[in-house]
Amino acid sequence: MIKAVIFDWGGVLIDNPAPGLIAYFASSLGVTGEAINIAYGKFAPEFQKGLISEEILWERICSELGVRKPYSPSLWTDAFREVYSPKEEMFTLASRLREKGYKVGLLSNTEVAAMNYFYEQGYDMFDATVFSCAVGARKPERRIYEITLGRLGVQPEEAIFIDDRVDFIEGAEKVGINVILFKNPEQVRKELASFSIKIT
């Protein structure tokens, strides 16, 4: 029996912020989006696991690109505020699930500035929130799924994980979690119904 539904954040509960973030950073630093993408990719694992600070990240990226460090104390926060676009229908779905007695979780590969922004919003429909930067692991690593299950107090077969990335879905499946590959809210409702979870 399903007892918990776990949501990804970027791309599921909100529009994927990555393109907007890359464009913002590129404009701020005076470089191309491709250059930012490549440079960030080198340091993303450490940054998303909370192993290096945002200050260190920009030092490394700017050194890599041969440009000056940004003036803002948190360019990431500035950019995230600019591009944040929630999918209200999905937040409503999460709330309705909780009202029906299901445990609701959030699992995200997220940087500290973005995590802080999430908490500023005051969302109250989650029983557990797991951010990669806070636990030192990220999707699709097995440990981050196990941490999420532990915080929700459920077994893998009692949970459904919703994500828009195939590799993260596959990571959850390897742990034994039921999965839904996100395409749109209506499709998610239909797939939840196949688990006998009907949300009107």
- 35-74, pLDDT tens digit by residue? 999 999 999 999 999 999 999 999 999 999 999 988 888 9
For residue 167, name the pLDDT band (cuts at 50, 70, 90): very high
Query: Minimal CA–CA distance to 10: which of 81, 86, 94, 112?
Result: 86
Mean pLDDT of 101-124: 96
Query: Where in the chain is CATH 1.10.150?
Result: 18-83
- Provide Rg for the chain, Cα atoms: 17
Region for 101 from its dihedrals, namely left if φ exceeds 0, alpha if ψ lies in -120 to 50, beta otherwise: left
Mean pLDDT of 95-111: 98
Query: Where in the chain is CATH 3.40.50.1000?
Result: 4-15+85-193
Q: What is the pLDDT of residue 71?
A: 85
Residue 100 pLDDT exceeds 90: yes
The two tokens of residue 28 are 């701020």
Task: Count the Cβ atoms, other than its own, within 10 Å of residue 101.
Answer: 7
Q: What is the pLDDT of residue 189?
A: 97
Q: What is the pLDDT of residue 5?
A: 99
CATH 1.10.150 at 18-83, yes or no: yes
Could you tell me the end-to-end alpha-carbon distance of the chain, in angstroms, rounded to an integer? 20
Q: What is the pLDDT of residue 72?
A: 86
Work out the mean pLDDT of the chain and round it to a whole number. Answer: 96
Distance CA 166, CA 178 (A): 13
CB 181 within 8 A of CB 163: yes
Mean pLDDT of 86-112: 97
Distance CA 11, CA 86 (A): 9
Give buried/exposed letters for 173-187 (b at 16+ CB in 10 A, else e).
Answer: eebebbbbbbeeeee
Q: What is the pLDDT of residue 41?
A: 96
Q: What is the pLDDT of residue 168?
A: 99
176-to-115, 120, 155, 173 alpha-carbon distances in Å = 27, 33, 9, 5
Q: What is the pLDDT of residue 73?
A: 81
What CATH architecture is 4-15+85-193? 3-Layer(aba) Sandwich (3.40)
